[in-house]
Amino acid sequence: MNYSSIFSSIYSQIDHLSNRGELATYIPELGNVSPNKFGVSLLSISGEEYSFGDFDERFSIQSIAKVLALVLAYASENEKLWKRVGVEPSGTAFNSLVQLEYDMGIPRNPFINAGAIVISDILISQLKNPKADFIAFVRSLSGNNSIDYCERIAKSEKNSGYRNAALVNLMKSFGNIENEVNVVLDFYFNLCSIQMSCSELTQTFLFLANKGINPNNNERILSLSKTKRVNAVMQLCGFYDEAGEFSFKVGLPGKSGVGGGIIAILPNQYCIGVWSPKLNRKGNSYKGMKFLELFTTKTETSIF
């Protein structure tokens, strides 16, 4: 399929839309990004790459990194991982704390903050040098040694991270956190601070479209069964309170971050990454969502 012409046709369509939405501002660093950045990158498992706009500029991938943390923890923890975190969508944000309380400290899924904090706790227990080992894993996936945490962002998160501190303390009161509260939060805030470009994202996540194997070096990252399960969890839980909307309109497993990035997977075909910093009311990239909706509609590709 000629993705190039589809990309440019959709790009011009979206260009005519006013760029609605708002920058994330809950940490000051995220508010400093130029709001009209817009990049797209598609990488197929056969190695074709189509990119557009600001596709090679790095941005804060934020919650997209939660998928990588899950992958690394799941690879060695296996199915017993799911005793500490669920696989169910979370319902509306308004009851995040009551649900955690009702479920005795077991988060609904690994992509809500509480769930990614539990995954962080698991990685800290698993890894010898947690932060160094984790970024090494990300670099090896992406084939790019310059990918790194952003200290400024991590520090900014920490300075306003009282709500996450509430979550980790609540889970520790239920016995679902093994390590020191501050150590867990430090890892978690660093995790969310990783920076990549759209094309680096597609390199990094392509194994999820390729049955768990990194196509660059044929290394198996996850078994086929685990790969499908990670995709399934993304499908149901990857877009905050808009998972249904995304599934409905785009029809691909994926994950978004409040930095305005989104990755999506069409199994056995491609990985696509988009970035545009302004967010809709639900916290997902306004233009990014539009782009993906038009793209899967035009190409008639979706998992459904």
Binding site for a copy of itself (CB under 8 A): 86-92, 94-95, 97-99, 101-103, 108-109, 160, 162-163, 165-167, 169-170, 172-173, 181, 224-225, 227-229, 231-233, 235-237, 241-245, 247-249, 251, 253, 267, 297, 300, 302-304
Q: In the complex with a copy of itself, which residue's Cβ is closer, 135 or 250?
A: 250
64, 256 contact by CB (below 8 A): yes
In whole angstroms, the minimum distance from the beta carbon of 94 to a copy of itself comes to 6
112-131 residues labelled b (16+ CB within 10 A) or e (exposed) = bbbbbbbbbbbbbeebeebb
In whole angstroms, the minimum distance from the beta carbon of 121 to a copy of itself comes to 13
- State the DSSP string of 187-250: HHHHHTT-EE-HHHHHHHHGGGGTTTEETTTTEE-S-HHHHHHHHHHHHHHTTGGGHHHHHHHT
Q: In the complex with a copy of itself, which residue's Cβ is closer, 17 or 224?
A: 224
Q: What's the Cα-to-Cα distance from 234 to each of 16, 28, 113, 115, 116, rounded to whole Å?
A: 30, 28, 14, 13, 13
In whole angstroms, the minimum distance from the beta carbon of 211 to a copy of itself comes to 10
Q: In the complex with a copy of itself, which residue's Cβ is closer, 34 or 304?
A: 304
In whole angstroms, the minimum distance from the beta carbon of 120 to a copy of itself comes to 16
- Rounded to the nearest angstrom, the gap between the alpha carbon of residue 96 and the centroid of all alpha carbons in its chain is 19
In whole angstroms, the minimum distance from the beta carbon of 174 to a copy of itself comes to 8
Q: In the complex with a copy of itself, which residue's Cβ is closer, 176 or 195?
A: 176
Q: In the complex with a copy of itself, which residue's Cβ is closer, 40 or 184?
A: 184
AA identity, residue 149:
Y
Assign 3-state DSSP to the chain and report helix, strand, coil percentages, each to 5.
Answer: 55, 10, 35
Q: Which residue has tokens 């709500």?
A: 163
In this structure, what DSSP letter does residue 43 have?
Answer: E
In whole angstroms, the minimum distance from the beta carbon of 233 to a copy of itself comes to 7
In whole angstroms, the minimum distance from the beta carbon of 6 to a copy of itself comes to 17
273, 284 contact by CB (below 8 A): no
Radius of gyration of the chain (CA): 18
Q: For residue 165, how many C-alpha atoms fall within 13 Å in the half-sphere facing its CB? A: 8
In whole angstroms, the minimum distance from the beta carbon of 231 to a copy of itself comes to 4
Q: In the complex with a copy of itself, which residue's Cβ is closer, 125 or 160?
A: 160
The CA dihedral of 66, 72, 75, 79, to the nearest 10 degrees, is: -40
Three-class secondary structure of residue 60 per DSSP? strand
Q: In the complex with a copy of itself, which residue's Cβ is closer, 58 or 211?
A: 211
Q: In the complex with a copy of itself, which residue's Cβ is closer, 90 or 199?
A: 90
